[in-house]
Amino acid sequence: MTGGENNDFTSSLASPREQLWQALHEGDETSAVAVVRRALGADIPTAEQMRAAGERVLLELIAPVQERLGAAWAANDITVAQEHAGTAISERCVSAVADATASARPGTPAGRVVVACVDGEWHALPARLVSEVLRLRGWRVDYLGAQVPTEHLVAHARYTRTRAVLVSSSIETLLPAAHNAISSIQGAGFPVIAGGAAFGPQGRYARLMRAEWAADARGAAALLAGNPRRPGTLAVRPPEADLPHLGDEEYTMVRRTGRQLVKQALADVEEGFPEMRWYSRYQNERTAEDIEHIVNYLATALYVDSPDLFARFITWTADILAARGVPPRCLLAALDSLLNQLKDFPRVFGILDTARGVIHR
Ligand code: B12
């Protein structure tokens, strides 16, 4: 390899990131794939260097640009349709890396693992990135994609006699589903590595659920290299075994009465905001949806006993609303309605009260 090529190979990805962003923003798949191919490098001499280049392109080029796409949607700079189009292009870019690096993968697999999104989870791209990195590191990966029903995931783990099951989740409201998946897979005798934004800062919710956790594909590869321990006892644990606070039934109660809570909160918000009377049907539907999200996140915060989780969600919702010209204080009306409806429940009270504090009036 000449010095010049080496420099190209190790050069910063800042400029390809900008080019890929432009291509995603314009919905230009051909240019996006061309950026990725150029970033991989034309003549990488060894298989090891090709694998390293592939991993960098997946984790340091495609992943951050995809995150930027999410931030642009949240800031109301691009539409939902543009975000969908951009994500489809990112998926195509991941395939381009997989194709270009296939011949560089190690010949004898290090072992076989399953990677899947938990039931209800649509965010498949993060799991796909993890899968492709593990393939480059020599693992035979069964990538099962989005929303895999737990019983099918367990059946597949048994069928493939997998070394470990890697579960991905991005949306916190799916934590009860993720817990069910983790406990069912471990109950069938397989180690679990959890990952994705749903598991919270430093994977704190994964640890509550007694799963190993990794921040990204490299962390997962390190855990796999250490031969994850098989679970000691073979039985599916009831949720309270890991989360004793569920014994107070506050989570069950919010889940059971969720529909009524949303209905009443919507009526209270309408009363507090007379301007809602002139809302279009579309705006009314979005408001109802927002309140439904609030109740779902409240239930999730009760499930993992984390006021922080709910406060983060309220901060995020306030930013989303502000970017769309809706005053975040309208969230206060919804929180107050829920506080009023659920005043006799101490954990609910603590969670809602903490969240009120994060809204700037
Ligand atoms: C693309 C996208 C979608 C696509 C997904 C398509 C697909 N094929 O994946 C679609 C349109 C389906 C979608 C739907 C929704 N989405 Co969305 N989506 C995104 C977006 C823009 C990008 C996700 C992504 O690919 N990120 C890039 C990857 C690289 O980052 P990552 O997730 O952090 O993954 C890395 C690590 O976490 C880790 N990792 C991930 N999984 C695993 C697993 C293991 C085992 C390990 C070790 C590591 C690991 O490694 C990854 C690579 O480094 C994000 C915004 C964002 N900033 O991420 C929102 C986002 C995740 N979505 C969001 C929301 C709210 C939704 C919806 C609820 C919207 C709605 N109202 O319908 C639905 C939910 C659907 C569902 N039930 O799942 C919110 C979540 C907010 C929250 N706090 O929960 C986000 C953050 C948007 C935002 N900025 O507000 N979405």
CATH code: domain of residue 259 = 1.10.490.20
Instruction: Give the Cα separation of 117 and 322 in Å (integer).
Output: 31
Percent of the chain having pLDDT more than 70?
Answer: 96
Q: Is the pLDDT of residue 41 over 70?
A: yes
The pLDDT of residue 283:
78
Tell me: do 163 and 218 sit in the same domain: yes
Decide if 361 is inside a domain.
no
Tell me: do 89 and 166 sit in the same domain: no
Per-residue confidence band for 11, with pLDDT thresholds at 50, 70 and 90: low
Higher pLDDT, 227 or 113: 113
Decide if 94 is inside a domain.
yes
Tell me: do 271 and 151 sit in the same domain: no
Tell me: do 127 and 229 sit in the same domain: yes
Decide if 184 is inside a domain.
yes
Tell me: do 21 and 126 sit in the same domain: no
Nearest residue CA, atom 37 of ligand 1?
A: 196
Higher pLDDT, 361 or 279: 279
Give the CATH number for residue 26: 1.10.1240.10
Decide if 255 is inside a domain.
yes
Q: Is the pLDDT of residue 106 over 60?
A: yes
Tell me: do 22 and 68 sit in the same domain: yes
CA 199 to chain centre: 8
The pLDDT of residue 349:
94
Smallest CA-to-CA distance from 49 within 109, 103, 99 is with: 103
Tell me: do 223 and 252 sit in the same domain: no
Decide if 211 is inside a domain.
yes
Beta strands (DSSP E) in the chain are 112-117, 140-143, 164-168, 192-195, 212-213
**Both tokens of residue 159?**
């069928």
Tell me: do 176 and 221 sit in the same domain: yes
In degrees and rounded to multiples of 5, residue 192 shows phi and psi of: -120, 135
Backbone conformation region of residue 145, classed left if phi is above 0, alpha if psi is from -120 to 50, else beta:
left
Per-residue confidence band for 4, with pLDDT thresholds at 50, 70 and 90: very low
Last residue of a domain, one of 52, 74, 104: 104
> Which domain covers residue 100, as residue numbers?
1-104
Decide if 6 is inside a domain.
yes
Decide if 170 is inside a domain.
yes
The pLDDT of residue 74:
83
Tell me: do 184 and 146 sit in the same domain: yes
Considering only 103-117, 179-193, 237-251, 268-282, which range has the smallest mean pLDDT? 268-282
Separation of CA 11 and ligand 1 centre (Å): 29
Per-residue confidence band for 193, with pLDDT thresholds at 50, 70 and 90: very high
**Both tokens of residue 308?**
């922080």
Separation of CA 166 and ligand 1 centre (Å): 16
The pLDDT of residue 355:
93
Per-residue confidence band for 5, with pLDDT thresholds at 50, 70 and 90: very low
Q: Which helix (H) or strand (E) holds 143?
A: strand 140-143
Tell me: do 154 and 206 sit in the same domain: yes
Q: Is the pLDDT of residue 177 over 80?
A: yes
Q: Is the pLDDT of residue 253 over 50?
A: yes
* Closest ligand 1 atom to Cα of 63: 29
**Both tokens of residue 107?**
């010949």
Tell me: do 267 and 250 sit in the same domain: yes
Decide if 186 is inside a domain.
yes
Tell me: do 74 and 22 sit in the same domain: yes
Q: Is the pLDDT of residue 361 over 80?
A: no
Instruction: Give the Cα separation of 44 and 53 in Å (integer).
Output: 9
Most ligand 1 atoms within 8 A of CB, residue of 114, 123, 300 to mutate: 123
* Closest ligand 1 atom to Cα of 62: 29
In degrees and rounded to multiples of 5, residue 108 shows phi and psi of: -95, 120
Instruction: Give the Cα separation of 196 and 206 in Å (integer).
Output: 10
Last residue of a domain, one of 104, 130, 146: 104
Q: How many domains does the chain have?
A: 3
Last residue of a domain, one of 208, 225, 241: 241
CB atoms within 10 A of CB 113: 28
Give the CATH number for residue 186: 3.40.50.280
Q: Is the pLDDT of residue 43 over 90?
A: no
Backbone conformation region of residue 41, classed left if phi is above 0, alpha if psi is from -120 to 50, else beta:
left
Instruction: Give the Cα separation of 44 and 96 in Å (integer).
Output: 16
Average pLDDT over residues 114-141: 97
CB atoms within 10 A of CB 44: 21
Q: Is the pLDDT of residue 23 over 70?
A: yes
Per-residue confidence band for 360, with pLDDT thresholds at 50, 70 and 90: low
